[in-house]
Amino acid sequence: MSYAYLFKYIIIGDTGVGKSCLLLQFTDKRFQPVHDLTIGVEFGARMITIDGKQIKLQIWDTAGQEAFRSITRSYYRGAAGALLVYDITRRETFNHLTTWLEDARQHSNSNMVIMLIGNKSDLDSRREVKKEEGEAFAREHGLVFMETSARTAANVEEAFINTAKEIYEKIQEGVFDINNEANGIKIGQQATPTNPALPGAGGAGGAVNSGCC
């Protein structure tokens, strides 16, 4: 279970957009999505490989913490990545993105990588938000965008791993201060962190493999 880095993620967005399903789909594939049964979780961890390095992703969900201002505001800091999720079949969840983003920007550290996710792409017949709209929003606010389906697992891997890749690149560029755990990045015990100035040795091409599953 040794890793080079640990990245902390948070998942934000309106209730019912499928945040915990995304999380479960990514961290615990064993929970097969079954008709009529949704299981929510608020935490998950999983190992991935980027650039030949083991990276542990730790994902925290906000479930049930909305009641207190002190809790919501403190949640953003200490995460290196955030998945901002809306439901493509519910327009209002898309409309609330600005508020979420403002909150995130205000309370997070400036380097946090935010990935915009339009979830439930399997329900195309009930779609209310066009893919282009999501793309436009992401472009306007400088986010990475992806449509996913927690049910069919489409793009779920990619969403989490692409975010990790971007964080990893920022570490390589020396943008993230990896020695400060408040930034949501932790160096593994057995890991030998490479000099941020030098791009990772050996792992040319930056191939990304997901962990065992």
Would you tell me which residues interact with other proteins (CB under 8 A)? 1, 6, 8, 28-32, 34, 36-43, 45-47, 58, 60, 63-65, 67-71, 73-75, 77-78, 106-107, 109-110, 140, 177, 180-183, 211-213
Of 43 and 99, which has the nearer Cβ to other proteins? 43
Cα 70 from Cα 49, distance rounded (Å) = 35
* C-beta of 47 vs 123, nearer to other proteins: 47
Nearer to other proteins, 34 or 205 (CB): 34
Q: Return the number of the residue (63 or 154) whose C-beta is nearest other proteins.
A: 63
User: Which residues are CB-neighbours of 198 under 8 A, at least 6 positions away?
Assistant: none
- Least distance between other proteins and beta carbon 177 (Å): 5
Q: Say if CB 150 and CB 89 are below 8 A apart.
A: no
Tokens representing 208?
A: 């990304």
Question: Cβ of residue 144: shortest distance to other proteins, in angstroms?
Answer: 18
In the complex with other proteins, the residue whose CB is nearer, 46 or 165, is 46
Q: Are 111 and 172 within 8 A, CB to CB? A: no
Min. distance of Cβ 97 from other proteins in angstroms?
16
Q: Which two tokens stand for residue 131?
A: 């893919």
Q: What are phi and psi of 183, to 5 degrees?
A: -85, 0
Residue number, 29 or 126, with CB nearest to other proteins: 29
Q: Tell the smallest beta-carbon distance from residue 181 to other proteins (Å).
A: 7
Q: Are strands 208-210 and 43-50 parallel, antiparallel or unpaired?
A: antiparallel
CB of 204 to other proteins, least distance (A): 28
H/E stretch holding 69 reads helix 69-76
Least distance in angstroms from the C-beta of 45 to other proteins: 6
Q: Secondary structure of 164-211 in the HEC alphabet? A: HHHHHHHHHHCCCCCCCHHHCEEECCCCCCCCCCCCCCCCHHHCEEEC
Q: Is 16 exposed, middle or buried (0-12, 13-18, 19+ CB in 10 A)?
A: exposed
